[in-house]
Amino acid sequence: MRLTDLPGTGTRAARILSLIADGVHVPCTDGIIVADGVTVGAGTTLLPGTILGNGVTIGANCVIGPGSVLEDTQIGDDVELLQTYAEGAIIESGARVGPFARLRPGAHVGLGCKVGNFVEIKNSLVGAGSRVPHLSYIGDTDMGTGCNIGCGCQTANYDGRRKHRTRLGDSCFIGCDTTLVAPVALGNSAYIAAGSVVTQDVPPAALVIARARQVTKSEGRG
């Protein structure tokens, strides 16, 4: 949304009052801006500083904000979305997003997913019940259901010339500080040890340890 598209004070107040009349909770109107055509379901709470831009639809009984900015984004029912920037995204019912998450165009967060703080998702499907709790980048990825992505993980989708996709089956476990170098595919229930750099496909139910072996040497004196 461009600044020139933001509704004026009178129009903004009228839109907020219209939402309240439809059963939306607005405990404080400070900084809330709603574009024309936005729909919000009954029982949803809009917290201060929330900006709902063009093409936004929000289901019932959600919590949106504070300080969230949404544009061209569809949100299901019972979603909690805190301090999040989302553009061109789909967030299905029961998902929990934020705080401080960024959903770029093509991000699709499935039923009951968790997308936590300082997570960026771009052009990717996060399957139902999967979790990306914190400090990760998921780009150009097809993720199955029930996966868990550890802290500090990333899909390396760009080789300097082209973008490539990463594919995860269902119930994959990705240990902290792992890099999945696309194009790469992981079978169902694959388990990746923390600190790994994965460059080859992984069969189902396999354990991958892709890191240098630790070597500890005593200093030695005398």
Active site residue 134: yes
Query: In which element (H, E) is residue 16 found?
Result: helix 9-21
Q: How many CA atoms, within 13 angstroms, populate the side-chain half-sphere of residue 160?
A: 0
Backbone torsions φ then ψ of 44, nearest 5 degrees: -80, 145
Q: Which of 25, 108, 134, 164 is catalytic?
A: 134
Q: What is the DSSP string of 136-186?
A: -EEESEEE-TT-EE-TT-EEE-B-SS-B--EEE-TT-EE-TT-EEESSEEE
Amino acid making up residue 169: G
Q: Kindly list the distances between the CA atom of residue 51 and the CA atoms of 10, 207, 215, in Å, as whole numbers in the listed order.
A: 16, 44, 52
Contact 124, 108 (CB under 8 A): yes
How far apart, in whole angstroms, are the C-alpha atoms of residue 198 and residue 219? 33
Residue 87: helix, strand or coil by DSSP? strand
How far apart, in whole angstroms, are the C-alpha atoms of residue 83 and residue 97? 9
Which residues does the annotation mark as catalytic? Answer: 134
